[in-house]
Structure 1
Amino acid sequence: MTKLSVNINKLATLRNARGHNRPDILQAARDIERFGAEGITVHPRPDERHIRYQDVRDLKAIVTTELNVEGNPTPDFLDLVREVRPEQVTLVPDAPDAITSNAGWDVIKHQDYLRDIVAELKGLGCRVSIFLDPDLALVDAAATTGTDRIELYTEAYARQYLTDREQGVAPYRAAAARAGQLGLGVNAGHDLDLDNLAWLQQQLPELAEVSIGHALVCDAIYLGLENTVQLYKRQLKPFNN
């Protein structure tokens, strides 16, 4: 079954715009779980422009499904992970000034570095996922780091979905199949929405988890948060059943 992990960064952006606690991030996480999501994802950045480091600490205490913490393994990020020990850490090579994640790891170039990081995180009891583009050579290199999973960066798929979804999904299908052959779990995220999610899952039987934030929060403005979470869950049901 493919699990839905909801990225709540955009809810924190809204809260921070007024400097108070509205919306309440902890209550939102509780509600999202109650509405059916199987995980909560956060991506704290050094400037804390949305999710703050203290949010991560507070979320660890109340999340009852799985807490997935994404980020570039800088010293501050690693210190936070050592303290919080989330169920999953997703390593993302984003620059401090990146608006959002915009590339996967060059695992071949950074293979030794990632191997050391992965070993430490697994020693803390965290499942580790490496964010990468759907390239077979990168999947092969990721397997040598000891990572548990990869997260496929799906912006290219989402961009091509409306014009040629078969061509768009082809490299992801191949990458997921290779990951499965190598014993790696497969996650996916970035620009997934109610239009393109079901097709991706149907084409990737290895898909263990999707992380969705921006589109889901935008949909919730019109459709309501409870209804939106359940609509996204419904996109994942046809293949599961």
Structure 2
Amino acid sequence: MTKLSVNINKLATLRNSRGGNNPNLVKSALDIEQFGADGITVHPRPDERHIRYADVYDLKKVLNTEFNIEGNPTEQKFVDLVLASKPAQVTLVPDALGQLTSNHGWNTIEHQAYLKTIIAVFKNAGIRVSIFVDADVSMVEAAATTGTDRIELYTESYAVEFANGQKEKAIAPFKEAAEAAKSLGLGLNAGHDLDRFNLGYFSKEIPWLNEVSIGHALICDAIYLGLENTVQLYKRQLTH
């Protein structure tokens, strides 16, 4: 069954908006685990506008499920953080400085040499590596030469087409990319704009999906539905 990793960046944004420690990020993460999540994801950025680097160390000490740290490895501070905290997985994302949110995958052809080098750094430390890619078979094929363990499909275009009532059109390039990943021996993750409405169809059509990472939509739903209930609603979307 596909695992649910909950991205807690938005909880950190809420905390930071008033200072102090409310909501308590560590307690929230532990509660999310108790509510049924299979993992916790954080995406610290250089300006620490949501997840702070100190949060990563605090979370690493107490989490009981898989810990996934996302970020751009061109920032040496990020590399040092990951190597020091040793999460179960690092997800490499080609964000620019100050970028609001991730909006594209790696060009795994153009950046192949760099990716091979940086992926080896993390794998030599015993950390599973996933890299963010678009639903493009050529990018998946090139990703397979970098040494990465998994790819994470960037799913914004799927979410947009699904919302427009074009679910078959929405899923088609992702199924093609996912099939390519499977044939090449790559593990498969997915994330960005997945929600409780579009998640079930995505995971049903790609049943070998290892993990989804969801934050914004899940936390928004939790405002209305409650955090425990929302985590369990998302988990049920992954059961077929």
Q: How does 1:97-176 map to 2 (within 5 A)?
A: 97-162=98-163, 163-176=165-178
Amino acid paired to 1:201: S
Q: Deviations over 1:61-83 (max 9, x none)?
A: 11111100000001110010111
Tell me the matched-pair count.
Answer: 238
CA distance, structure 1, for counterparts of residue 200 and residue 37 of structure 2: 16
Displacement of 1:206: 2.0
- Report how far residue 212 of structure 1 moved: 0.2
Runs of 4+ in 1 over 6 A off after TM superposition: none
Report the TM-score when normalising by structure 2. 0.98
Q: State the superposition RMSD in angstroms.
A: 0.5
Report the CA distance between 1:46 and its aligned residue. Answer: 0.2
- Verify: 1:17 aligned to 2:17, yes or no: yes
Alignment check: 8 A CA contact 1:139 1:175 kept: yes
Identity of aligned residues (%): 65
* Partner SS, residue 213 of structure 2: strand
Task: Name the amino acid aligned to 1:92.
Answer: V
State the 1:41 CA deviation: 0.1
SS in structure 1 of the partner of residue 41 of structure 2: strand
**Deviations 1:143-198 (CA, angstroms, capped at 9, x unpaired):** 00000000000000000003211011000001011100000000000000010000
TM-score of the aligned structures, taking structure 1 as reference length:
0.98
CA deviations on 1:81-119 (whole Å, 9 max, x unpaired) are 111011000000011111110110001000000001111
Q: Distance in 1 between matches of 2:10 and 2:53?
A: 15
Read off the aligned partner of 2:144 and give its amino acid letter: A
Name the counterpart of 1:67. Answer: 67
Whether the 8 Å CA contact 1:177–1:206 is kept in 2: the answer is no
Aligned AA (2:127): C
1:29 positional shift: 0.5
Residue 208 of structure 2 corresponds to 206
Q: How much does 1:205 deviate?
A: 1.9
Residues 152 and 186, structure 1, Cα contact 8 Å, conserved in 2: yes
For residue 43 of structure 1, report the CA deviation from its aligned partner.
Answer: 0.1
Structure 1 unaligned regions, length at least 5? none
Partner of residue 83, structure 1: 84
